[in-house]
């Protein structure tokens, strides 16, 4: 088969094949392999005492550079609505957890409002003011810069 021009083409991929079989996190370089070609991520490899969990062969420091190269070429758009970033497969999970356009829930109990983290503060000020002091809002439940997780 003759190679075509360097055009971008679509493919159907099972992304589970690009995750570590031990921790199920996306592979990121370096990726290690045993003599039978079984793969494991760099975080799990020492935990397994460099022994393959599939066949018990030693893994040592044998890297799977072919898989590392494949993963570098896979580009996936962020799934958060409005985000235009396109990232390598291994970077996608971390980005989506911290994407500034991810929806966040209002921290006030009973409030069902959700918005990007940038808009939550404004919502709190306009929707949940508890009082004022010399014309400034008194914030008793929300602090700008406070970290929280998005699920």
C-alpha–C-alpha distance, residues 61 and 64, integer Å: 10
For residue range 2-14, list pLDDT tens digits in order. Answer: 555 667 777 788 8
pLDDT reported for residue 63:
95
pTM of the predicted protein model: 0.61
Number of H helices, E strands in the chain: 4, 8
- Domains of the chain are 15-98 (3.30.40.10), 103-137 (no CATH)
Element at 103 (helix H, strand E): strand 103-105
Element at 116 (helix H, strand E): strand 114-116
Three-class SS state of 40: strand
pLDDT value at 129 more than 90: no
pLDDT reported for residue 34:
95
Mean pLDDT of the chain: 81
- Per-residue confidence band for 140, with pLDDT thresholds at 50, 70 and 90: very low
């Amino acid at each position: 088969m003759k190679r075509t021009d360097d055009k971008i083409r679509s493919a159907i991929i099972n992304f589970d094949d690009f995750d570590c079989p031990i921790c199920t996190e996306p592979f990121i370089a370096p990726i290690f392999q045993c003599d039978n070609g079984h793969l494991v991520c760099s975080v799990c490899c020492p935990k397994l005492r460099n022994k393959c969990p599939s066949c018990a062969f030693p893994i040592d420091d044998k890297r799977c550079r072919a898989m590392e190269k494949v993963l570098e070429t896979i580009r996936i758009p962020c799934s958060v609505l409005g985000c235009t970033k396109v990232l390598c497969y291994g970077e996608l999970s971390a980005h989506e957890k911290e994407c500034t356009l991810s929806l966040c829930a209002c921290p006030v109990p009973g409030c069902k409002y959700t918005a990007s983290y940038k808009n939550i503060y404004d919502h709190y000020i306009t929707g949940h003011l508890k009082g004022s002091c010399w014309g400034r809002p008194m914030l008793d439940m929300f602090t700008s810069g406070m970290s929280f997780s998005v699920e």
